[in-house]
Amino acid sequence: MIRVLLVDDHAVVRTGFRLLLQAHPETSVVGEADSGESACQRYLELTPDVVVMDLAMPGMGGLEALRRIRAHHPQARVLALSAHDDITPARRALKEGARGFLSKRSAPEALLEAISTVAAGQRYIDAALAQKLALDEGDGGSAVERLSEREVEVFVRLAGGASVQRIADDLKLSASTVGTHLYNIKQKLGASNQSELTLIAIRHGLIEA
């Protein structure tokens, strides 16, 4: 069971997230907070497995709350949320130690996947944003730009160490389809093996070293 703390200044957003997560047998909402200040206090009280944190809140704000929680609890796993899919808040949140970043425009299934991924100690960035982050790095951007959104999803998972079968299960694809994507990814990025894919992903900040 993944214990989740929801942090958002809009009650209707928290309610929607709570209903979604409570319908999922592997997640449990153990608390809510409506501000950065409250988030810091609630984290101390509850020590949740994952904090789902909106970045844009009045007062301290989500970014500062993320910074303070991580300063005192380096093991904290925070999934940052934003109403925008711009790379600037994503880059800042990841720099401050967020384990994942998700746009509020994403499908409900993406939130569940993101929470599970972050709870497992892995980094989660939705594919479209991962592509933008990689392109913004400059070097090698043209190569990553040639990947389709689905190829970026497969690429990030492969670079993070997931097996072809695991990726197929996660993305609801056949193993042969994932294999085809892998072949195309290697061709486009000029990589010949898993290690080279991992190095490219680390260089672009898509996974951690």
- The span from the CA of 153 to the CA of 157, in Å, is 6
CA angle (101 as vertex; 100, 102 as ends), nearest 5: 130
119 and 148 housed in the same domain: no
* Tens-digit pLDDT profile for residues 38-53: 999 999 999 999 999 9
Burial class (CB in 10 A: 0-12, 13-18, 19+), 1: exposed
113 and 154 part of one domain? no
- Residue 208 resides in a domain: no
Which of the residue ranges 46-50, 72-76, 135-139, 195-199 would you say has the lowest mean pLDDT?
135-139
Q: Which domain holds residue 63?
A: 2-125
Q: Which amino acid is at 36?
A: G
Tens of pLDDT, residue by residue over 12-21, are 999 999 999 9
Specify whether 57 is located in the same domain as 112. yes
Integer Cα distance of 60 and 4 in angstroms: 21
Query: In 3D, which of 74, 191, 202, 198 has the Cα closest to residue 137?
Result: 202
pLDDT in tens, 116-125: 999 999 989 8
Helical H segments across 96-148, by residue range: 108-119, 127-136, 141-145
Interatomic CA distance for residues 99 and 48, integer angstroms: 14
Question: Same domain, yes or no, for 6 and 107?
Answer: yes
Query: Do 100 and 143 belong together in one domain?
Result: no
Residue type, 61: G
Would you say residue 209 lies in a domain?
no
